[in-house]
Structure 1
């Protein structure tokens, strides 16, 4: 559902969804990838209807002009899910960039972008969820949890032996921790850095707190995983498979110390014994340790590869552990399933040779031994095709990690016929899916089992890898369709990633204590995804907490609920998100923006609130001075003189009334001649939304558009074009996500000042309760610069070009002093275009 949480910090620019897409208005819909499309890539949407009539044509419409720019032929398909008829709308031949929408019959799509940078910053955004899932020290909460892990079970040592395994990531919305999912997540993060290092930023320290440490954040997060895996493989012949069990499900809570296991705050740590272990009334079907050991070995080996030149001592430890983990897998072939005490639900992994294939290929890269290469080839031949591919069902995590990563690593090392053999395995699996998927408009044939989104992500990666290894585009449309599914091109018309895109239809009520109890965003989290309706109906303990907003799109085929009460479709998972980070990085890389192009304004380097950019890149010691003006301009000459003396650019957002005032026009012309940014601040300075109930609009869409257009007409008379002033700062600096959406629809980007200091209080008068003296304002700015982890990095520091005569303590008289002090602290003042890289 549309995410209206005003505190959510989101990334990726996207214009808002059209109100005409509401269920009550039509019974035909157009489903799109809300993130947008690459100019040179596959671009397709799905038209779906509750009726039988199908339009013959569709149009791609430029959102700014309202004029059609492309007309295409509808490719009809039959019934799918809740729809009586569906059709595919392919506009791949359109290569030009811009903001558009689609029209087919009575249906109109949401707005979307076509641009090389539509996926920029998405991978870093999803990385936020990984940091939030950290155990031991949790940087999101800035607090520790699960510090007493744990006591051993099933090991060669006496049960209840104390062992230090604190760290790692919580698996999902519960706080269990599994070696299999964590090792797979670690590998995907490492591989994302290996393959696409240029797409990741450095805005967080190793402990996950804000602040650059000159290490890409993706590598910091991967190392957090490696640190924990090292603890879980403490000796050459010791390996542990999980921390805690389903006694964790005692109740929903934020992460803390859990006293559910009869040993104070210690939690059980299950040894990889290679033998069946407790599973409620049953025993699991463990037959060995290779499925876990292979994942450990490959993560350690790739970690060594990437860190050997950065931290040789640490990398040496990883190199040794890669070999010892692999040796354990060779000695004890078979699967190592998870343990459950109270319920029948486990990760029932049934395959292991794919894990050992990846491990063997990774060790060949480290040691260059032909025996490792041959073992990898042998393992590859034992499981050519991941068993779920082309099937319509599977058990929970039966064929984990849903993709044979070993085939990709091995094929990268091979040439000629040997390479073709391995890529042929990928091709066979993909084609088994394609033979079924090509029969529906969504190109969908992924089993609707638990974590169907994880399978979708893995399959999209397999298609991508096949394309990279062979150069063949035979399955490019299928690859893109699976990616599109995750971001809105699905029957429910919703993204499956919390907060991505910023103004899109995304999960807002996931099965997560962070959102349900703490009311915190779980930015970047990939939720489980739709399940077969018959699965949903037979699950234990599911009860929706509110009316189903997607009721019109549920069917006998599959259901999806954006509801805390549905743990089967709307629970985020750590390992699925880690896989998605790889896929998002690949798609970002496809855009071709790296490394030459600057980070675009929809990157996760930027901070958004309710659809407006409120801060630039926090890894750079740059800021922009922003001045607003409506009825007063008494500080204009002083401000201009100081900026000239200090050689500092600034941005001025002025109302139409300001621009039209004959007394102010000479100043405006001088500021324009000086090269400062001059932008809109509304024409008549209306209040857009209620001060107390921010969601309550006080202006209509028509009035908003007319007022903004009037502002630009006033600017045009002074030689300021709209194309040179694409940032809009709202009147009173007060807005909501609807205002941000309307701004996007106008082809503009809403911006607002960066909160934290009291600079914006320079307009207050002594009679006001909120009055702040210039000294107090000045100290608040320097204090923020000196005490916050990122200081004023990326700040849009807002001041006023003039204030009421009742305020005699004019802050602009201290502007020269302020700029000087900030320059001494190393800050560089840039234009707003430089701050936001446009």
Structure 2
């Protein structure tokens, strides 16, 4: 068994992908695309040889005609990227399942794409409004992967991307009746041997002299840690997804009995039920009254040492430890609990009241301890998630508390924050768990509040300006990705999806179709229109990632274990090559090509809650069917 003690330094990182040159090391990122290879624990040399064989097979199957392999919406943009050095336009044909030509046209020469290192053309068949399965785009004698054109294209992904969080639940059995037998498992970390449980967890030495019940919540990623700052942004995105849909009049698709979770049928929207599983955990991480740092939030809880791959949650025998409180974690708690108070109120007023009390307490504690930072060195057994810039977290928390209460003290904290007028709140590389000012900005732009009209107008204008910037970035690229060519870092797919959320918010504010089109083209990138000709979402597309870094979804290392469930998003290209597999296999890759579908490549191929949360948000947005806005 191979064990990689990965750092999880900044999971919000940006990544990149390989170029289209099949013979280069960059193309090795396609290794194991077929997913049929199972690597049992064994010699590294044998694993390397198997990777080479899988790489060769995958490279031979790659087509230069790159499409969204899941498909396209009838009323949305329909564009493909064609890898070609031709300096003149090429003829394209859209063919139906029968082979008949449904539409035809000429490509637009785009030339060199900096991120992929490829010469590209654009094929645009948006004018075609027919529907059906099994279309292919044929350019210069080469066919794309097959795809559908249908209005319900994203309905399944809306459900599957949200279901990811039930799969990741800690402290409860994952039921076969809800996820199928392959992904079912007993409850993890409930104190049944060999687990030591999360109901009575001690602190690291020197942090506290008592224990805390911190059961529940979501496992953060491929490990068994639970981190407040990462869980906070993830829970916020799920709740915000519902709140956005409610404002748009489309919340029924996220309502009660729409997800495969145990709480279905309880009268509460299922997305809120799922978020509550994490919110309850976040509130359990608050330091009790009468203790040092009362009201603050412990930064994280995880194993005392890294566990190997694979390790089923219920078989994890490591001691669990609470790590010292931090200002960032406390402000995450304040922000998410305040959002809870606002959004949950119509469904569970008592719970909303409890959330608001927790939020107020956390805010006061953070004000009293404004510079208590998680140490960068605390990365044994779990990620450090260190963050020494927390003024953005203060702004986010103040915005949520103001939106929830309308109280002057929180409004003053909003308007006096430098982030309130800073252009840095919404950046080209996107928001993430460590950079949260954008979350406050999005809340103030969309939730009714009593800021002066001119102030609200400026906040909203900043959102549309940022969205226009993302559209401009996409327009200058061969693959229409809303991050710059130098933005492919750890978790680049979360930067991509978070920037698409900004565009979707701009659409909600203005009704202008270009923003919706930008969101849908972002989905194209995630689902196969990229230099790897690969869908990053398990179960979606002709060829998709299926060996993501995870201790239970570890079929590549143990044939008795499953691959990730459908709807799981891989982290994506990472030009930093921050794991041994990436360093061995991807040296020299172009930015958008630095990805490998290998369970050992935690810096390019892990899953996390804060990557799947924006995917779920976007899938719900893309799945909506309503009369188009002018």
Verify: 1:511 aligned to 2:545, yes or no. no
Instruction: Report the CA distance between 1:113 and its aligned residue.
Output: 2.2
**Who is 1:60 aligned against?**
94
Verify: 1:499 aligned to 2:539, yes or no. yes
2:202 to 151, 158, 162: 151
Counterparts in 2 of 1:161 and 1:250: CA distance versus 1, 3 Å: farther
Distance 2:335 2:509 in 1: 20
SS in structure 2 at match of 1:78: strand
Verify: 1:441 aligned to 2:478, yes or no. yes
Contact 1:380 1:407 in 2 (8 A): no
Counterparts in 2 of 1:65 and 1:210: CA distance versus 1, 3 Å: farther
Contact 1:137 1:143 in 2 (8 A): yes
Distance 2:281 2:627 in 1: 34
**Who is 1:87 aligned against?**
121
SS in structure 2 at match of 1:88: strand
2:77 to 39, 42, 59: 42
Counterparts in 2 of 1:509 and 1:402: CA distance versus 1, 3 Å: farther
Q: What TM-score do the two structures reach when normalised by structure 1?
A: 0.59
Instruction: Report the CA distance between 1:530 and its aligned residue.
Output: 0.7
1:525 to 553, 568, 572: 568
Contact 2:339 2:401 in 1 (8 A): no
Counterparts in 2 of 1:320 and 1:34: CA distance versus 1, 3 Å: same
**Who is 2:581 aligned against?**
542
Distance 2:337 2:591 in 1: 44
2:456 to 419, 422, 428: 419
Distance 1:259 1:383 in 2: 49
**Who is 2:402 aligned against?**
364
Instruction: Report the CA distance between 1:419 and its aligned residue.
Output: 2.4
Q: How many residues align?
A: 539
1:240 to 274, 298, 301: 298
Name the structure, 1 or 2, with higher relative contact order (CA <8 Å, separation 6+): 2
Instruction: Report the CA distance between 1:173 and its aligned residue.
Output: 0.6
Distance 2:152 2:362 in 1: 40
Distance 1:302 1:79 in 2: 41
Counterparts in 2 of 1:577 and 1:184: CA distance versus 1, 3 Å: same
Instruction: Report the CA distance between 1:77 and its aligned residue.
Output: 2.5
1:165 to 201, 214, 227: 214
Distance 1:295 1:494 in 2: 34
Q: For structure 1, which runs of at least 5 residues remain unmatched after alignment? A: 6-20, 275-288, 595-838
**Who is 1:488 aligned against?**
528
Q: For structure 2, which runs of at least 5 residues remain unmatched after alignment? A: 1-32, 38-56, 176-183, 191-196, 246-250, 289-293
Counterparts in 2 of 1:81 and 1:238: CA distance versus 1, 3 Å: closer
Distance 1:343 1:219 in 2: 30
Distance 2:438 2:256 in 1: 30
SS in structure 1 at match of 2:543: coil
**Who is 1:760 aligned against?**
none
Distance 1:430 1:115 in 2: 27
Correspondences of 1:286-297 after superposition (within 5 Å): 289=327, 291-297=328-334
Counterparts in 2 of 1:308 and 1:424: CA distance versus 1, 3 Å: closer
Counterparts in 2 of 1:25 and 1:93: CA distance versus 1, 3 Å: same
Verify: 1:229 aligned to 2:282, yes or no. yes
**Who is 1:175 aligned against?**
224
Counterparts in 2 of 1:105 and 1:163: CA distance versus 1, 3 Å: same
SS in structure 1 at match of 2:404: helix
**Who is 1:560 aligned against?**
595
Distance 1:201 1:72 in 2: 44
Counterparts in 2 of 1:566 and 1:381: CA distance versus 1, 3 Å: closer
SS in structure 2 at match of 1:58: strand
Q: What do the CA deviations read for 1:116-161 (whole angstroms, capped 9, x no partner)?
A: 2111131221122211111122315442222233112488xx7342
Q: What do the CA deviations read for 1:546-584 (whole angstroms, capped 9, x no partner)?
A: xx8xx9995466311111121111111122112211111
Instruction: Report the CA distance between 1:338 and its aligned residue.
Output: 6.0
Please tell me whether Structure 1 or Structure 2 has the larger radius of gyration of its CA atoms: 1
Q: What do the CA deviations read for 1:218-246 (whole angstroms, capped 9, x no partner)?
A: 22211101111111125362321100267
Distance 1:254 1:96 in 2: 46
Contact 2:338 2:400 in 1 (8 A): yes
**Who is 1:254 aligned against?**
312
SS in structure 2 at match of 1:468: helix
Instruction: Report the CA distance between 1:52 and its aligned residue.
Output: 4.1
SS in structure 1 at match of 2:305: helix
Q: What do the CA deviations read for 1:514-567 (whole angstroms, capped 9, x no partner)?
A: 2324522422221110111xx21xx3443799xx8xx99954663111111211
Distance 2:271 2:382 in 1: 35
Distance 1:231 1:513 in 2: 25
**Who is 1:458 aligned against?**
498
Contact 2:171 2:188 in 1 (8 A): yes
2:365 to 312, 324, 328: 328
RMSD: 3.5
Counterparts in 2 of 1:309 and 1:318: CA distance versus 1, 3 Å: same
Instruction: Report the CA distance between 1:451 and its aligned residue.
Output: 0.5
Contact 2:263 2:273 in 1 (8 A): no
Contact 1:154 1:271 in 2 (8 A): no
Distance 1:343 1:41 in 2: 45
**Who is 1:133 aligned against?**
168
